[in-house]
Structure 1
Amino acid sequence: MSAIAIIPARGGSKRIPRKNLKLFHGEPMIARSIRLALDSGLFERVIVSTDDEEIAALARARGAQVPFMRPAALADDFTGTAAVIAHALEASQQAGYVFEHACCLSATAPLLQVRFLRQGLELLEAHAEKSFAFSVCEFGFPVQRALTLGQDGALTPLYPEHRQTRSQDLPRAFQDAGQFYWGRSAAWLRGDVLFSEKSLPVILPRHLVQDIDTDEDWRRAEYLYSALLAGGELQP
C-alpha cells in the first residue's frame, strides 16, 4: 500500500476570510489536519495544495510539503475538488512520486478522527472494484419530508408525493460529511465520478460532523469540539 494525503487550501475563502489560517481553539485550522495526517501513519507523503504563500509557509512549518503552488486557474470559486487532486497527483508523478491511493483531506475538519480515516482506506482496499470511499453521515430527518419557500414566502413540500408518507417508511438518506475522500490515484486521474456507485460510505455519527462554511458553522464546531474533548471522544 502506498498513499498520499492532499490537503486543498486556497487563500481566497469568501464566507469566512482566511478560514484555513484562522485560529481554532488556539491553533490555525489547517494545522490540525496536517498534524492528524502526519500522526496517522497512513501516508508516505502529506502535501498541501495552495495558491497562498502564507498558507504554504505555515504548512511547511507544521511538517507538510508544498512542492508546488497551485495555479490561479485551479484556485477560483468554481474549480471542483477532483480537478485539484488530479493536478496534485500529476505534479507528484512528474516529480517521481507514484501512489496507489490518494486521500483528499479537508483543511477544515477539526472533528476528524484517525479511526475513520483508517476505516476508509481499509474499505477501499477490500473492494477492488470501487474507486472511492469517503465520509458521510445520515440526515437527522427524512429528506423526502423537506419543506421549501414559494415565491410568496409560503411553505410548500419539496417532495409533495411524500406529504403523507410515514417517516419510518422512507429510505435512509446520507450527506457528504466533508472530512475526507479516499480514492485510487488512477480513479482521480481519469475523472471517475465521486458521488456515484463507484463510491463506498464511511458512516460517521452525526455529532462528529460539522461542515464549516459560515460563522455559525464555526461556532457550532467549536462547541462540539469542546464537548467532545470533555467527554473523551476526541483527542486535542
Structure 2
Amino acid sequence: MSDILCTICARGGSKGVKNKNIRQIAGLPLIAHTINQARECGLFDHIVISTDSDEIASVAQNYGGEVFFKRNENLASDNAGKIPAIRDALIRSQEHYKREFPYIIDLDATSPLRLASDIKAAFKQFIDDDNDILITATPSRRSPYFNLIERQSDGSINLSKPLPKAILRRQDAPQTYDMNASIYIWKSQILLNHDELFLPKTGLYIMPQNRSIDIDDELDFMIVEHILRSQNA
C-alpha cells in the first residue's frame, strides 16, 4: 500500500485558455495527460482530483482520476491560492480513505510535458535528501543579475539584482531557475502546518526546458500541442 497521495487540482474558471483543463490537446483532454503520467509512474494507490467543475470531474473520472468531493467555492476563486486547495484535498482524502498519507505529490494539470520518470526521480531525490518540500524548476533563460530590469518609482531602471561588480556575460552570473509548476512534493505534516514553499529543507528538482512549459495562454497551448504531437509521431 502506497504511502503517497497524488493530487491534481483543476478548477473550472480558467481565464487565459477557456476550459483548458478539459480541452483536447494532442488527442486527449489536457488533464488526461497528467492522470496518465500519475498512473504510469506506479507510485500511487489513489489519484485524487480537486475541482469545482462537474464537467472536469466527469472527464477526469473517465481517465482514472478519483473524484469524491467538490472543491468549495472559496478555494476555487481567481484569488484563491493553490496550497490551501492541496491541503484540503489531503485532509479530505485521509478522511475518505480512512488512512494517513505521509507524503503528497501534487501534479499540475497545465504542465503535461513532464514524464512519469520525472515524478519517480523527483520523489527519489526528495527521500534521499530528506526534504520537507520539493519543487521543480528549469534553468532560467533570463537572469535578474544580467538582463531582467525593474522600473523604479522615479522612472529610472536598473537590474533586478545588481551585483557589487558588473558582469559582462550572462554565463558569469549566478545560476537562477524558473519554477515550472510541474511537480510539488510535501511531507504531509509540513503541508498541514505551513503555507510557504521555501523552507530550510525545500529541495529543487531540475527539469529541462522542453518538459517545463506551463500552459497559461493560447501561445503556450499551441507550443505544447506541437511538442506532444511531435513526440507521438
Task: State if a TM-score over 0.5 links the two structures.
Answer: yes
Once the 2 structures are TM-superposed, how far is the Cα of residue 182 of structure 1 from its aligned partner? 1.1
Query: 1-side partners of 2:4 and 2:83: how far apart?
Result: 17
Q: Output one character per residue of 1:88-120: Cα deviation in whole Å (capped at 9) or x when no partner.
A: 111112221311110111111221101111111
Residues 149 and 117 of structure 1: is their aligned pair in 2 closer, same or farther, counting only changes over 3 Å? same
1:122 aligns with 2:124: yes
- Which residue pairs with 1:219 in the alignment? 222
Query: 1-side partners of 2:171 and 2:219: how far apart?
Result: 31
- Which residue pairs with 2:29 in the alignment? 28
- Which residue pairs with 1:133 in the alignment? 134
Q: Secondary structure at the match of 1:200?
A: strand
- Which residue pairs with 2:95 in the alignment? 94
Residue type of the partner of 2:109?
Answer: A
Query: 1-side partners of 2:226 and 2:153: how far apart?
Result: 35
Residues 25 and 152 of structure 1: is their aligned pair in 2 closer, same or farther, counting only changes over 3 Å? farther
| Sequence identity percentage | 28
Matches within 5 A, 1:58-73: 58-73=59-74
Unaligned runs of 5+ in 2: none
1:181 aligns with 2:215: no
Residue type of the partner of 2:52?
Answer: D
Query: 1-side partners of 2:165 and 2:17: how far apart?
Result: 37
- Which residue pairs with 2:9 in the alignment? 8
Residue type of the partner of 2:219?
Answer: E
Moved more, 31-40 or 44-53: 31-40
* Counterpart contact for 1:131–1:192, Cα < 8 Å: no
Once the 2 structures are TM-superposed, how far is the Cα of residue 150 of structure 1 from its aligned partner? 7.3
Query: 2-side partners of 1:229 and 1:201: how far apart?
Result: 29
Q: Output one character per residue of 1:167-224: Cα deviation in whole Å (capped at 9) or x when no partner.
A: 2332100111111101111111112521333211110111221111011111121223
Q: Secondary structure at the match of 1:165?
A: coil
TM-score by length of 2: 0.89
Query: 2-side partners of 1:36 and 1:226: how far apart?
Result: 16
- Which residue pairs with 2:56 in the alignment? 55
- Which residue pairs with 2:109 in the alignment? 107
* Counterpart contact for 1:82–1:191, Cα < 8 Å: no
* Counterpart contact for 2:144–2:159, Cα < 8 Å: no
Query: 1-side partners of 2:40 and 2:174: how far apart?
Result: 38
- Which residue pairs with 1:45 in the alignment? 46
- Which residue pairs with 1:171 in the alignment? 174
Query: 1-side partners of 2:26 and 2:139: how far apart?
Result: 27
* Counterpart contact for 1:7–1:49, Cα < 8 Å: yes
Residue type of the partner of 2:208?
Answer: P
Query: 2-side partners of 1:163 and 1:224: how far apart?
Result: 40
TM-score by length of 1: 0.88
* Counterpart contact for 1:7–1:105, Cα < 8 Å: yes
Query: 2-side partners of 1:126 and 1:102: how far apart?
Result: 16
Query: 1-side partners of 2:162 and 2:188: how far apart?
Result: 42
1:198 aligns with 2:227: no
Residue type of the partner of 2:202?
Answer: S
**CA RMSD after TM alignment:** 2.2
Moved more, 47-56 or 86-95: 86-95
Q: Secondary structure at the match of 1:143?
A: coil
